[in-house]
Structure 1
């Protein structure tokens, strides 16, 4: 039962693989939203790049946030009565696109443009993607949710700022790159961001395409699975394996209040800048 002081939310993480056909990807979204709604989910989080997977030219795929693809997701969310979070691509600067999260449902319609671009591990997202420049939160069923995309999870200050802005939960959509140690990094980072922001973190990634028998090449990040929900103490309350699946978890914001009472890192933190760095003076 939800209360005003400690609202609750049921969240679903749809760990799937998108393809290169935006229309086919809409059918994937519709099917998993229907499944999640049947399980009483309020918010369904899909991975980054749900409109079209990475590794193909994105300029010809991108559409405005008011375009046909986004409106189709609006309709899916409206019909199911849930909020949907899904990665898409919108026009950016010049020939580049923006890596955008569409957030749409009965209570909200907004979007977040990925701030931290994945120029790492041999991949250069900034060659084709323009960076966003502002944080986004939205309220669903009385719970304030912050939003982040993939590489953002490596930047703790972003999660602390979202928490300071009122977020009790941060939803992270990702298409995590494969490689040695990368799954361990993904799970460690999700737990760390929950702990150092004292929020729930719901991190939903693309499934590992190899599980479905797909042979992939190149450095484009296509997913490793292992979507998870962490509580504000960094404990894992639900986690998937590598393949396609749906994770459902209940978010009770009373846990946020309890953890922040005992571990007030947001209240105790100090702004650190270069002016505070200096050599020790001998006594």
Structure 2
């Protein structure tokens, strides 16, 4: 295995049911819920392209056709926008559109967990290292988290995970990594623990949904028994892979919002809206007024 073999492909699993967002996700995939004016899944693709990824594999499931449509050309819409003189919208849609042949879609026929979803992409990935982006986890910062993972991978090779720090008392809510020897863009991972018991966490560095993995993980996933939630867990196969291959962690300097939760989804909308030059000031004024009004009601209660 060449430790510096180029990472050209990425997997984005979009097969989940999104039950936490019902009834909004009854007929629409959760990945198509919008952060301001772009669907969640668009942020994942943009981050992958920013990091230099050439080909993205979406792992879908039943009733996810709208995701494929989102990343397809829309001649009728473009023609209508051009006739209306909305050239800025035409340009924006053109920038977001993947180049021909740069995305693939494969099916996960049964909801058997993240590990199984990743395994479903094995034939498209082939014998290459690949990136994995969980679309619910949206990076917010000067650059996407995956770009930092690529920097570290190009330095040390092997397997790389993205991490951030949480409050020590919250470590039991996450997958946690042990911190080893420091390297220029991160540190060596000594071990990984999924949702450790209170007080048993080896650190407060949690996995934030960004990975670069060697293709040997597919062999472990192929034989992986079901774990937590009666699903095939990616972390279990990563632990097996770590017995023979090195893992390093990149500490993301921005912030990741968990848009799989209602709280994180709302936080992300606020953060991205405030960061927008076209609406940021107006959103700030509205939020300030709402907070002041809310505090007044609390004091009066």
**Same-fold call, TM cutoff 0.5:** no
Relative contact order, higher structure (CA 8 A, sep 6+): 2
TM-score where L is the length of structure 2 = 0.28
Query: Which is higher, the Rg of structure 1 or of structure 2?
Result: 2
TM-score where L is the length of structure 1 = 0.29
